[in-house]
Chains A and B, each alone.
Chain A
Amino acid sequence: MIQASHLTKQFGALNAISDVSFEVARGEIVGFLGPNGAGKSTTMRILCGVFPPTSGHAIVAGYDVVADSLRARGVVGYAPERVALYLDMTVREYLRYVAEMKGIAPSHRRTAIDAALSSCGVVHVARRLIGTLSKGYRQRVGIAQALVGEPRVLVLDEPTAGLDPEQVAEVRRLIRHLRGERTVILSTHILSEVEATCDRVIIINHGRILAVDTPRNLNQRLRHTSQIHLEVRAAADVVASRLRAIPGVLQVDAALDAAEGGSAFVVTTEKDRDLRAELAAAISAAQWPLLELRPVFLSLEDIFLSLVAEPAPATPVTHDEVTGRLSA
């Protein structure tokens, strides 16, 4: 549905994005993840036809965003990062204006507007002036505006920025609801959002793509050791020295969150080697009461930090290179 190849955008001397390539399949929800200023918005604006790339191509639903700009813009719905609405219009008036601008036939306009209103949960404020709405509602009207006319591709720039937790959950529910019907690209710097809503993640920093994968695969690729959290009711130093004797254990660190009378550890083992059974056997052999034993997964936060902590690479890297450099 979306093919971006070697997109580069320069603003004067500034390289906003360099050599950004990715593909998004029909019906997929893809998250753009990166710190502020990473180039997320620039990439999205190119896809939406706000400005052309300095070099490279992007094709949306079969239309080139530069050569066939008007038709490409016709199949994309965009909700910008900064919610921008005409405050002196009512919600319904505004959506009618949007429908007209998108060139929706007069006979379909009403249904298109009603559909957008109801899927964003703003039916009951349809007659209110946008200027009198709260931030959460404005955000939803901004998404409704993108949804008008059921565009095949939705581009949402930080759709949950500045919302309270309840509203965030609602927007995410809305996005998940679109899964399968629409192709969605959303950007965020909130990592749990990607885990909650996206099929795939594109991690971008300094205008370059660092990794493209599912959240799960990223987790596996980027781990260079496995960790197990363990809690035992026994003296810490005795347990630690016993655990270190088990083959495959690289490191045993005391963890802070131990219950009273117990000691907690994070046991680091070789990658892809599950030592849970051996650990449990050793502890039961010593007749220490075992309170807890669980594998520790890298959070998306950890993955993200380890990726962006790297200096901007001179050339685009593949996943293997990223993984390789981290384990080196």
Chain B
Amino acid sequence: MKSLVVCRRELRSYFSSYIAYILLAIFLLLSGYFFYSDLIFFVLYGGYVLPTGLWQYVFLDMRLCMLLVLPLLTMRLFAEEKKLGTIELLWTYPVRDGEIVVGKFLACWIFFIIMLLPTALNPLIFYRFYHFDPGPLLAAYLGIFLLGTAFIACGLFISSLTENQVISAMATYGILVFFWFLTWNEEVADQQIIQVLLHLSLFDHFFNFSRGVIDTQDVAFFTLFVLFFLFLTLESLGVRKWRGVR
């Protein structure tokens, strides 16, 4: 399976540069701090319902950290290969474009999971002092996992469009923030249009998860979102067939 070869190389590339460690550290520091401050808030004002009083805030905050960090992880995936010119060699090996896309996606995904796992320490420690129902927490984790996967798919696609990593990251920020703010102001558009936009907003689909609710509609949305961007990435690699190499 050539995807695994691609994936392994990407992972070593992440871990052989200090940037990955810095991103990891910043993500854990921020999410740890948010957990701490949300817990204090819960204890002082939150009441008794954990899912809406604590988890919701923790995961909405973690969402922001991910929005900050993930585009910096995805920006290099294709942009760097384009800049170095190594992408051309990749095309001359007996490997399908799809395998390359899957391999790169997988590598970033694994890094994201590695990044996400230590955040489970916070609720685990909390559990030692207070035995809560883990169900809503797991639902929220599923949500943040799906949301992150969607970020990665989007970032991977943007990265395949440019050889400039800064442009790659900025454009990913642009698209993701746009999907977030899509339904921010309900007055900007007609009520019917808002209803359509609401279904497209990444963060509206995440909101249910953060309160501990798993809706198959939301799961289906994220799955389609990911598949759509993986498909776009594949198409974007195919552009060389009629436009040439760069």
Contact = CB atoms under 8 A, between A and B. Distances in A.
Same complex origin of A and B? yes
Interface of A: 11-12, 16, 42, 45, 48-52, 70-71, 73-74, 76, 78, 80, 82-89, 93, 97-98, 100-103, 145
B240 A51 contact: yes
B84 A50 contact: no
Interface residues of B, number: 27
Contacts of B2: 100-101, 103
Nearest to B95: A101
B131 interface: no
A23 B143 CA distance: 58
Contacts of B128: none
Given A73-B92, A78-B92, A85 B86 contact: yes
A50 B87 CA distance: 10
State the 8 A-B residue pairs at the shortest beta-carbon distance, nearest first. A84-B85, A74-B94, A78-B92, A48-B92, A101-B93, A100-B5, A84-B86, A73-B94
B192 interface: no
Interface of B: 2, 5-6, 9, 12-13, 16-17, 84-96, 240-245
Nearest to B87: A84
Contacts of B5: 97, 100-101
A86 B9 contact: yes
Contacts of A70: 94-96
A226 to B, nearest CB: 45
A52 B94 contact: no
Given A50-B88, A50-B245, A97-B9, A88 B16 contact: yes
Contact of A86 (B13, B88, B243, B245): B13
B89 A11 contact: no
Contacts of A11: 242-244
A22 B5 CA distance: 36
18 contacts: A45-B88, A48-B91, A49-B91, A51-B91, A73-B93, A73-B94, A74-B94, A76-B92, A78-B92, A80-B85, A80-B89, A84-B86, A84-B87, A84-B88, A84-B89, A86-B9, A100-B5, A101-B95
Contacts of A87: 84
A86 B84 contact: yes
A88 B84 contact: no
B241 A102 contact: no
Contacts of A103: 2, 94
Nearest to A16: B244
Nearest to A52: B241
B16 A50 contact: no
Contacts of A45: 88, 245
Contacts of B87: 84
A82 B244 CA distance: 15
Given A70-B96, A103-B2, A88 B17 contact: yes
